[in-house]
Amino acid sequence: MARGGINKALVHAARDALLARGLHPSIDLVRVELGNTGSKSTIQRYLKELNGAANQAPLPTVSEEMLTLVTSLAERLTQQAQEAVAEERMQLDRQQMTYQQEQAQLRERLDQALATIAAQTNEFASIDRTRDFTLSGVS
């Protein structure tokens, strides 16, 4: 009758049991854990496969992938928003400069108009005084 032998799942369970007890899963300890069955070369091959699989980076879970995706999108959106704000700020600064220049020009025109009004008011007052003087002397 053929023997059942050992398989990778049995070696994996024996290795995990040894690790849980804080022991290094050597070929001999795994063989003892399996009840002194299995060839050392078979156990070594399975241990090598298991260690290789353990050393490979585990595939990220869906939630980890989502977190990575959302984080990446958030960073891109933040960068785009900062760029848009910077552009709008530059446009606002240009508008403010234009408004300040226009305000200065209007202030200058107002000052000139006020000076003209003051000069004309003085001239009219002078004319009125001259007329009043002339009229008072004629009567």
pLDDT tens digits, one per residue of 60-117: 787 888 988 999 999 999 999 999 999 999 999 999 999 999 999 999 999 999 999 9
- This prediction's pTM: 0.40
Q: Is residue 58 classed as helix, strand or coil in its secondary structure?
A: coil
Rounded to whole angstroms, how far apart are CA atoms 86 and 96? 15
Q: Domain extents for the chain?
A: 1-56, 79-134
pLDDT value of position 4: 63
Mean pLDDT of 114-126: 96
User: For 28-49, how does the pLDDT look when each residue is reduced to its tens digit (9 = 90+)?
Assistant: 999 999 988 888 999 999 989 8
